Amino acid sequence: MTNTCTEQTLSNSILVDASRYLQINRPQRIQPQLSVDITGHCFQPNIEDLESDWVAHVAAPGFKVYRQRRGADVESFCSIGTGSGLDVLSAIEILGATRVGLTDVHEDVVAAAAANIARNQLAAYPVTIQSGFGDLLTPLAPYAARYDVIYENLPNILSQDAETVAEEKNSSAYVPPRAEEVPQLIKQQMLDLHYLALLQAKDFLKSDGAVLSCLGARVPLDVFLSLGKRAGYTPSILAYGWKVQGDPELIRDYAHNQASGFGPFYFYRAEVLQKAFAGLDAADTGRNALDIERSLQTRRMDPLTAYAAFEDGERIAHTVAVLQCETK
């Protein structure tokens, strides 16, 4: 179901240079200048500071590594919690997907994202769009479709106010309380939605496909590997890197949650991570992720210290990981 975004929900429109955003030569499957509508419920892409942008700085490099290792294009791609649809457009260009699925919790977000994808694909490379709004993958059940790659970059921060979640939910910041059973280790690190997405993905994933989870590595990588195993997959770290904390107020949210018994969570000064990852190939970071993580242990900051450093004018960052989960 592909809808259009109403003027009442449209927040703003942005233009994105696809070559700069994806760090590629002239795109072959999408428009070189992307026209993207953003709604008020949608997480705002950071096209000015790409080191703060999840798709440009984390997902797209992960897609490149996956495409390189696969050795061939994928036919189908699905995004859980797509936001603006830039993740799907990136997958169309980098992975070669010709059928895409996308979901988000708000109808206006999905409508705008589907329209963004339709408007920015090149006529020579038509793409079939399957979309729906609601909980995780369930909106795509009517299509009875399976995908080569399912991608998710879901939020971690919990909100206990269901009314606020329903009325004001921003796609990046709030998670409604869940009734499903989640392993304690996963709950402790606030990875509930990632775990539930992995469980649901089994009914939507092709037998030789993969789920790619884009994760803010504010917790140890061993926890991410355990996340995949406990959900019934064979997990590996596809890519490991870093990004600037785009919303500094989230640092304070992590501090509050750690004081409430979650975590512990870790942050770094941006220059520390910039130096640690300088010159490293994305594929090599995945293979050497645990070694890189160990080399950074003495440079970690707890959320309170990180927020104080931010208030003193420092750029704060965290490591990121693309977790690859396969059923084979």
Chain segment 10-37, per-residue pLDDT in tens:
578 999 999 999 999 999 999 999 999 9
| Residue type at position 160 | Q
In the chain, the percentage of residues whose pLDDT exceeds 90 is: 85
Q: Tell me the average pLDDT of the chain.
A: 92
Which tokens in the block code for residue 214? 């884009």
Chain segment 273-309, per-residue pLDDT in tens:
999 999 999 889 999 999 999 999 999 999 999 999 9
Core vs surface per residue 122-159: b (16+ CB within 10 A) or e = eeeeebebbbbbeebbebbeebeebbbbbbbbbbbebb
pLDDT surpassing 90 at residue 176: no
Chain segment 56-67, per-residue pLDDT in tens:
999 999 999 999
What CATH number is given for 10-326 in this structure?
3.40.50.150
pLDDT surpassing 90 at residue 174: no
Read off the pTM.
Answer: 0.93
Determine the pLDDT at residue 1: 39
pLDDT band at 43 (very low <50, low <70, confident <90, very high): confident
Number of helices (H), then strands (E), belonging to the chain: the values are 14, 10
What residues are paired with 17 via a beta bridge?
Answer: 33
DSSP labels, 118-187: HHHB-TTS--EEEEEESSTTGGGGGGT--EEEEEE-----B---HHHHHHH--TTT-B----S---HHHH
Determine the pLDDT at residue 320: 97
Residue 103 near residue 132, CB atoms below 8 Å:
yes
Distance from the Cα of residue 267 to its chain's centroid: 18
Residue 92 near residue 117, CB atoms below 8 Å:
yes
pLDDT surpassing 50 at residue 127: yes
Q: What are phi and psi of 72, to 5 degrees?
A: -160, 160
Cα–Cα dist 302/307, whole Å: 9
pLDDT surpassing 90 at residue 205: yes
